[in-house]
């Protein structure tokens, strides 16, 4: 018989891919069968996602994946599509970088209920600015929307649902008080591993459909004393905990308690991440590799990558130069971004330990940014801890592993799944200097 194979659809904010994953007793292997660019699209003054285009790419990827035993879908968090009463999408989903949420503020006491760091783009704040609510009969987060288009079935996968701000972190359910004004809008929750319908006779399985939740599943840690940086468009920096931290100190430090696979809490802070570089490259119309080589010997300036001026698309080099108060050559801009991200990584790793009481001995960097050698070394140096870099495709691997366990091809706890990653994926270690 052929070994169990699954297809993982991973839609990142900067690119999407479909991988075919094969899991055996002692290894997990993934082969990328389709990759496509993604990014926010300007549409009549607003910033949106071409979600129908993504759906077409997903269909093409699933065709290329061939025969599989299960399909799982993950994407970036917080964004959603609204369906009308007949199940049609009302409009292309807004991108979380759209300016419609500028100026929102959280209500007093909210953190104690939803445990989320304040981000103006959390779904609950986007809904305050949503003009289509009167026509909407259901809200589906992006992976749930793609899943609906594949299967005809609707649900809200739990890990991603926690990023809406509408889940009570203490019960793990939609909060009755926070969703009072949204009757019927939110579908029932489903959890990673649950069945989620079928596409052309192949079961669709709920995974950690928040990309960061899937990425954390595939952190190749050997014990629980680790911090992780899921490093792509964003750097999501934190630790894994059994229980949320809901203290006033934690709220003030803007740490979030997002729902993880197997009932874990992803206690982390969003750092602006490689979005800064992506927008620099777009502005210069340049390629990353040569600039990274030059940045290795360039000198940089330090700025706060989490300043909200860096959130929307635009001329990032000019914004960075303005922030630093001096003109910088492109390699100096790149070096400044990497130095500043490394320091922001360190602050988040230290704050996560201090606020949660959990001590770590290693920092795992996963995602596309784990291939950035300079960033990994600077992060190790800043943290004063070894960095273990890889896998670059942690999100797709975490998606594959949760499906594989649901269909009986993998077994055990997150520790067991991580051991499969550690044994079969190339990793690189950076010692702090
Ligand atoms: P997302 O899922 O948010 O779209 P990824 O995890 O795919 O993001 O990471 C994308 C980022 O990874 C790019 O912006 C780039 O900075 C970095 N990256 C990708 N490939 C390389 C590489 N070969 N060397 C260094 N950095 C890379
Ligand atoms: C990373 C991510 C992150 C969210 C952001 C909107 O792709 O899902 O965890 O905060 O996108």
Distance 159 CA to ligand 1 centre (A): 23
Question: How far, in Å, is the centroid of ligand 2 from the Cα of 213?
Answer: 10
Q: Which two tokens stand for residue 421?
A: 């990653």
**Helix, strand, or coil (residue 159):** helix
> In angstroms, rounded to a whole number, what is the distance separating the alpha carbons of residues 406 and 218?
16
Convert 371-397 to b/e letters by CB count within 10 Å (16 or more is b). Answer: bbebbbbbbbbbbebebbbbbbbbbbb
Cα 367 to ligand 1 centroid, rounded to whole Å? 7
- Alpha carbon distances (Å) from 3 to 102, 167, 204, 262: 50, 38, 18, 25
Residues in the ligand 2 pocket, defined by CB under 6 Å: 12-13, 76-78, 96, 210-212, 233-234, 236, 270
Binned at pLDDT 50, 70 and 90, residue 186 comes out as very high
Q: Is 211 a catalytic residue?
A: yes
Cα 79 to middle of ligand 2, angstroms: 10
The pLDDT of 179-189, averaged and rounded, is: 97
Summarised one tens digit per residue, pLDDT across range 291-339 is: 999 999 999 999 999 999 999 999 999 999 999 999 999 999 999 999 9
338 within ligand 1 shell (Cβ under 6 A):
no
Question: Which residue of 232, 286, 394 sits with most ligand 1 atoms within 8 Å of its CB, as the best mutation to test the pocket?
Answer: 232
Distance 112 CA to ligand 2 centre (A): 22
Atom of ligand 2 at shortest distance to CA of 13?
A: 7
CA of 164 to the centre of ligand 1 (A): 25
Nearest protein Cα to ligand 2, atom 8: 76
What are the distances in angstroms from CA 380 to CA 111, 341, 344, 350, 364?
A: 31, 12, 12, 13, 10
For residue 2, the model assigns a pLDDT of 73
Ligand of minimum distance to the alpha carbon of 10: 1
Ligand 2 atom nearest to 121, measured from its CA: 6
Of all protein residues, the one whose alpha carbon is nearest to atom 4 of ligand 2 is 77
Residue 307 backbone dihedrals phi, psi, to 5 degrees: -60, 130
Residue closest via CA to ligand 2's atom 6 equals: 77
Distance CA 83, CA 185 (A): 9
Predicted confidence (pLDDT) at residue 426 exceeds the cutoff of 90: yes
Report the atom number in ligand 2 closest to the C-alpha of 234.
Answer: 1
Task: Indicate the SS3 state at residue 269.
Answer: strand
ipTM: 0.99
Check residue 425 and give its pLDDT.
97
Choosing from 11, 49, 74, 77 the residue with most ligand 2 atoms within 8 A of its CB, the one to mutate for a pocket test is: 77
Tell how strand 173-174 and strand 202-205 pair up: unpaired
Q: What is the pLDDT of residues 361-412, one digit of tens each?
A: 999 999 999 999 999 999 999 999 999 999 999 999 999 999 999 999 999 9
Residue indicated by tokens 């700025």:
303
What is the pLDDT at residue 3?
A: 80
Among protein residues, the one with the nearest Cα to ligand 2's atom 2 is 76
Is 232 a pocket residue for ligand 1 (Cβ < 6 Å)?
yes
Tokens of 240: 């894994």
- Ligand with the closest atom to the CA of 211: 2
Mean pLDDT along residues 226-252: 98
CA angle 155, 51, 19 (to 5 degrees): 80
User: Which of the following is catalytic: 10, 211, 339, 351?
Assistant: 211
Looking at ligand 1, which atom is closest to the CA of residue 373?
25
In the predicted structure, residue 137 carries a pLDDT above the cut 80: yes
Task: Kindly indicate the confidence band of residue 96, based on its pLDDT and cuts at 50, 70 and 90.
Answer: very high
Q: How many angstroms does the Cα of residue 78 sit away from the middle of ligand 2?
A: 8
User: Rounded to an integer, what distance in angstroms lies between the CA atom of residue 315 and that of residue 324?
Assistant: 15
Q: Is the CB of 367 under 6 A from ligand 1?
A: yes
Strand bridging mode 265-271 / 256-259: antiparallel
Confidence of residue 235 (pLDDT cuts 50, 70, 90): very high
Residue-wise pLDDT tens digits, 250-266:
999 999 999 999 999 99
Is pLDDT above 80 for 97? yes
Yes or no: say if 177 and 37 are a contact pair by the CB < 8 Å rule. no
The alpha carbon of 21 and the centre of ligand 2 are apart by a number of angstroms equal to 23
Pocket lining: 374 vs ligand 1, CB cutoff 6 Å: no
CA atoms within 13 A on the CB side of 102: 8
Q: How far apart, in whole angstroms, are the C-alpha atoms of residue 346 and residue 342?
A: 6
- Closest residue to atom 7 of ligand 1, CA basis: 368
Does residue 1 carry a pLDDT above 70? Answer: no
């Amino acid at each position: 018989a052929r070994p169990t194979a699954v297809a993982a659809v991973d839609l990142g904010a900067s690119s999407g891919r479909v991988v075919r994953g094969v899991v055996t007793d002692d290894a997990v292997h993934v082969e990328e069968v389709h990759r496509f660019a993604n990014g926010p699209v300007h549409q009549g003054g607003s910033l949106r996602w071409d979600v129908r285009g993504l759906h077409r790419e997903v269909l093409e990827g699933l065709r290329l994946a061939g025969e599989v035993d299960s399909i799982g879908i993950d994407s970036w968090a917080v964004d959603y599509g609204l369906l009308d009463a007949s199940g049609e999408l009302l409009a292309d989903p807004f991108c979380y970088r759209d300016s419609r949420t500028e100026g929102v503020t959280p209500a007093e006491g909210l953190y104690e209920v939803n445990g989320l760091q304040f981000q103006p783009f959390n779904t609950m704040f986007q809904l305050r600015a949503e003009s289509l609510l009167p026509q909407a009969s259901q809200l589906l987060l992006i992976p749930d929307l793609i899943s609906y288009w594949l299967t005809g079935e609707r649900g809200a996968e739990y890990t991603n649902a926690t990023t809406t701000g509408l889940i009570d972190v203490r019960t793990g359910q939609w909060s009755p008080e926070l969703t009072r004004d949204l009757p019927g809008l939110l579908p029932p929750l489903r959890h990673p591993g649950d069945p989620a319908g079928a596409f052309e006779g192949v079961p669709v399985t709920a995974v950690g459909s928040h990309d960061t939740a899937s990425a954390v599943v595939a952190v190749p840690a050997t014990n629980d004393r680790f911090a992780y940086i899921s490093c792509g468009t964003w750097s999501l920096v934190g630790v894994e905990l059994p229980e949320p931290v809901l203290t006033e100190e934690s709220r003030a430090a803007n740490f979030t308690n997002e729902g993880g696979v197997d009932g874990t809490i992803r206690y982390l802070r969003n750092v602006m991440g490689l979005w800064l570089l992506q927008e620099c490259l777009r502005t210069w119309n340049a390629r990353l590799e040569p600039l990274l080589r030059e940045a290795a010997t360039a000198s940089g300036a330090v700025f706060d990558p989490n300043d909200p001026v860096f959130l929307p698309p635009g001329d990032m080099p000019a914004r960075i130069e303005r922030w630093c108060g001096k003109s910088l050559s492109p390699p100096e801009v790149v070096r400044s971004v990497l130095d500043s991200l490394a320091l922001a990584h360190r602050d988040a790793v230290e704050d996560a330990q201090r606020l949660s009481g959990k001590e770590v001995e290693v920092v795992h960097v996963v995602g596309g940014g784990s291939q950035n050698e300079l960033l990994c070394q600077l992060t190790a140096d800043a943290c004063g801890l070894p960095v273990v870099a890889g896998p670059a495709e942690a999100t797709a691997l975490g998606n594959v592993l949760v499906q594989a366990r649901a269909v009986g091809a993998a077994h055990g706890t997150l520790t067991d799944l991580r051991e499969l990653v550690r044994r079969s994926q190339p990793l690189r270690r950076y010692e702090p200097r």
